[in-house]
A and B are shown apart, each in its own frame.
Chain A
Amino acid sequence: MPYGLQHEQEDIAPVLLHYEEYESLRLCDYDGLTHQEASFAMGISRPTFTRIYAVARQKVAMALAEARQLRIEGGKIYYDSEWHICRNCGCYFNNPDKEETVVKCALCGSSDIDSENDTIPSGNSECVEYRVCEHCGAVVNQQLFTIEGYYTCPACKHQHHHCRRKHNNY
């Protein structure tokens, strides 16, 4: 935890950096992900991510400029429970009771299980955004939709004002 110059002075309040703001800085500036990839890793939309990230930078800059203490706490966060993968039936399952250790698969009872760590999509190839044409049902790479105020499906030339989004690794 970084201490500002005047950390012993009681009257200067520390800058509170929320957990999600810290996470956005870590993913973007430390891990070097793009906003798109980082938002995907955090399970939020790209615009929401950019908003959180902007606040995070503003707070860090404030702490540096005003030599205030930076404290990481609070925010809207959710800790995912442990997830495991079964090599026998190929299913994923979580552990709702954190006190008990998982020894066998919740579905088939096999003991051939592996703990699953969250894999952050790396590289653009895994994080291509797809759009589903509501008119003809074609799944098309978003970049192939031409933007002229709205999206036009390259398959049926149907024009959309907004389309459903689809990620290929979801």
Chain B
Amino acid sequence: MKVAITSEGNSPESKVDQRFGRCSYFVIYDTETKSTEFIPNPNRNAREGAGPASVQLIAAKNISKVVSGEFGVKIKPILDSLKIQMISVKDEKSITEIIQLIENNK
């Protein structure tokens, strides 16, 4: 299973980005191979439509869960129809902490 986490920076110590469409980096974590991949978000400075464009990026990677702070009104219906689970984390957690939680979950 692959999980996408929005990140403010490109290190495991970075915090979860509260924005989804305009986050700085996407972290793709694979629970089987335990690999993490940092992808800079090309839609970061997009004028509009950053959310749907980011969903496309995520969906192309076969993600089943997305961890972010907030999901916008345009994103929720798309992710819902793609059956991608949304997880909203409001308090400041680092990428390592999130991965730790996912690992303990199994």
Which residue numbers of A lie inside 8 Å of B, CB to CB?
Answer: 43, 78, 80-81, 89-97, 104-109, 170
Number of interface residues of B (CB under 8 A): 23
Contact A107 B98 (CB under 8 A): yes
Shortest distance between the CB of B21 and any CB in chain A (Å): 14
**How many Å from the CB of B74 to the closest CB on chain A?**
10
The prevalent SS among residues of B at the interface is: mixed
Contact A170 B70 (CB under 8 A): yes
A116 to B22, CA, bound (A): 26
A-B contact pairs, 8 of them (CB 8 A): A89-B89, A91-B90, A93-B87, A94-B85, A96-B79, A107-B98, A109-B105, A109-B106
Binding site for A on B (CB under 8 A): 65, 67, 70, 73, 76-77, 79-80, 83-91, 98, 101-102, 104-106
Task: Tell me the minimal C-beta distance from B59 to chain A in angstroms.
Answer: 13
Contacts of B90 in A (CB 8 A): 90-92
A107 touches B89 (CB 8 A): yes
Q: Which residues of A contact B79 (CB under 8 A)?
A: 96
Residues of A within 8 A of B67 (CB): 91, 107
Q: Smallest CB–CB gap between A112 and chain B, Å? A: 13
| Measured CA separation A93–B86 after assembly (Å) | 6
